[in-house]
Amino acid sequence: MLKRQHLPILVTIALFALMFIAGSFQYTDFFSAQVLLNLLIDNAFLLIVAIGMTFVIISGGIDLSVGSVIALTTMISATLVQDGWSPAIVIPLVLLLGSLFGAGMGAIIHYFKIQPFIVTLAGMFLARGLCYVIDTSTITINNAFYTSMAQTKVYLPGGNFVSISVLIALLLFAGAFYAAHFTRFGRNTYALGGNEQSAVLMGLPVARTKIGVYLFSGFCSALAGVVFTFYMLSGYGLHALGMELDAIAAVVIGGTLLTGGFGYVAGTLFGVMIQGVIQTIISFEGTLSSWWTRIVIGMLLFLFILLQRLFSSRRLLHKHRV
């Protein structure tokens, strides 16, 4: 039973290891700690937003607004910072706005009984549209704090380094891992995704949990927007275009069931790393188009959805026999 329960995440970890080893045999200088750390450096914002998406999908929902919220966060941050606002005010403000945006969608989903797909699709269009209300062109950030955050390297033993964004992403990962597996909120999220009617009958706080899940996703999207601003040093309405799909792909490849009720935050980390290693292999190859990343991820999604279907069928069969 334990082996079957952990099969999805074990497959994800094995696939990542296999791809990294294959790249190491194929390309010189691929097998190094810095290449591994670069996967985190280049995908810190994706990891942050995918962590929020993990909770949403485990709860049985979906959030299509995350990429647009990232773009809106960069636009608001860039506009206010360039107008002379202190980053100490701007960053908490955008995190609050992202959280409220997510909580608002969660409340609409729960109290009006509307499908999450429809509500978050509307949120996606709203947030992306607001970007162009602010400005239709790129807003460059030259604030000293943002440039310092972008350029700062945190050195590790052996001369390797990571960025500040990686530390932020890993701190969030540690907090989310603890919340998912060792708190009442985490248990309620799994119960909600498993069967909402059963959660209601058990007396669990369904409304509070559902709104909390989308609030957390909105917070993660805004935090990813802050990190993305450090990474790009600009605000633009087309930033993070399609990132909601990358986040969903990372969560599914990480072993979380799209039907809800089952998944791992740790699996999402490896789902993001798999996307990163695909991009790195294509970069080392030099002759392949970046669109091959999409092709490979699409094939992996098909594979993992089939695996999920097989896994779900076996669980149902086991329950029926019991």
pLDDT at residue 199 in the model? 95
Query: Which of 40-54, 85-99, 245-259 is the least confident region?
Result: 245-259
271-287 pLDDT, tens digit per residue, is 999 999 999 999 888 87
Q: pLDDT class for 1, splitting at 50, 70, 90?
A: very low
3 state DSSP class of 103: helix
Q: pLDDT class for 77, splitting at 50, 70, 90?
A: very high
Q: Please name every residue paired with 153 in a beta bridge, in sequence order, or none if there are none.
A: 163
| Cα 223 to Cα 95: distance, rounded to the nearest angstrom | 6
pLDDT at residue 321 in the model? 53
Q: Which residues contact 33 (CB under 8 A, 6 or more apart)?
A: 158, 160
Q: Please name every residue paired with 162 in a beta bridge, in sequence order, or none if there are none.
A: 154
123-144 pLDDT, tens digit per residue, is 999 999 999 999 999 999 999 9
**Which runs of consecutive H residues, i.e. helices, occur in the chain?**
2-5, 7-26, 33-58, 66-82, 87-111, 116-134, 144-151, 164-182, 184-194, 196-201, 206-232, 243-253, 265-285, 291-321
